[in-house]
Amino acid sequence: MSVGMSLAMKAKQPKQKRCDRCDLYYPVTLDECDHCSQLNDSQLAEFKAQHQETLQGNSTFGKYLLFGSVIIGLLLLLSFL
Ligand SMILES: [Zn+2]
């Protein structure tokens, strides 16, 4: 990627700041976080728990993907024998 292109992309992206409540990023143009400003404390706890589950789910999916590619690799190897 050229320097000019990355500069252009930086200029295009809106500035974001990290929310102290939910740890997600939101545009600085907003006065309050658009992820959690509507939530009360118990809803926020639930929201964060769900967010955590999503992250863990993704890593499990990654493991399955790796496992699947190993199996496919073995099958390919066997078909050559
Ligand atoms: Zn937030």
- The residues placing their C-beta within 5 Å of ligand 1, an ion, are 19, 21-22, 33, 35-36
Q: How far is the CA of 19 from the centre of ligand 1 (A)?
A: 5
Q: How far is the CA of 36 from the centre of ligand 1 (A)?
A: 4
Instruction: Express each pLDDT in 17-64 by its tens digit.
Output: 999 999 899 999 999 999 999 999 999 999 888 877 776 777 788 888
Q: How far is the CA of 51 from the centre of ligand 1 (A)?
A: 12
SS3 letters across the chain:
CCHHHHHHHHHHCCCEEECCCCCCEEECCCCCCCCCCCCCHHHHHHHHHHHHHHHHHHHHHHHHHHHHHHHHHHHHHHHHC
The reported pLDDT for the residue numbered 42 is 95
